[in-house]
A and B are shown apart, each in its own frame.
Chain A
Amino acid sequence: MIEIKLPSLGADMDEGTLLEWHVKPGDEVHKGDILAVVDTTKAALDIECWHSGRVHDLLVEPGQTVKVGTLMARLLEPGEDAAAIPPPAPAAAAAPGAATATTGPVPPAETAAAPPVIPAALATRHPVSPAARRRAAELGIDVENISGTGPAGVVTLKDVELAAAHPAPAHDRGTDMRRLIATAMSRSKREIPHYYLSDDIPLRAATEWLRRTNLERPITERVLLAALYVRAVAVAAARHPDMNGFYVADAYRPSTAVHVGLAISLRGGGLVAPAIHDADRKPVSELMQALTDLVARTRAGKLKRDELADPTITLTNLGDHSVTSVHGVIYAPQVALVGFGEVSDRAWVNEGRVEATPVVTATLAADHRVSDGHAGARFLAAINALLQHPDQL
Chain B
Amino acid sequence: MSDQPSSASFGRLLTLVPPSIAIGLFFVIPFSLIVLSSVAHQLQSGDFVFGFDTAHYERFFTSIFIGRAVYSAILSFSIAVISLLIAFPFTYVLTGFSKRTRTIWLVYILAQLSLSEVLIAFSWQILFSRTAGITNLAVWLGVLDKPFSLAPSALAVLVGLVYLALPFAVLLLFPALSRLDRSLIEASQTLGASPVRTFFTVVLPVSRPALISGGVTVFVLTLGAIIVPQVLGRPGHWTLSVLITDQAIYNSNMPFASALAVILLLMSGAVIGVVGWLNRGSGK
Q: Do A and B come from one complex?
A: no
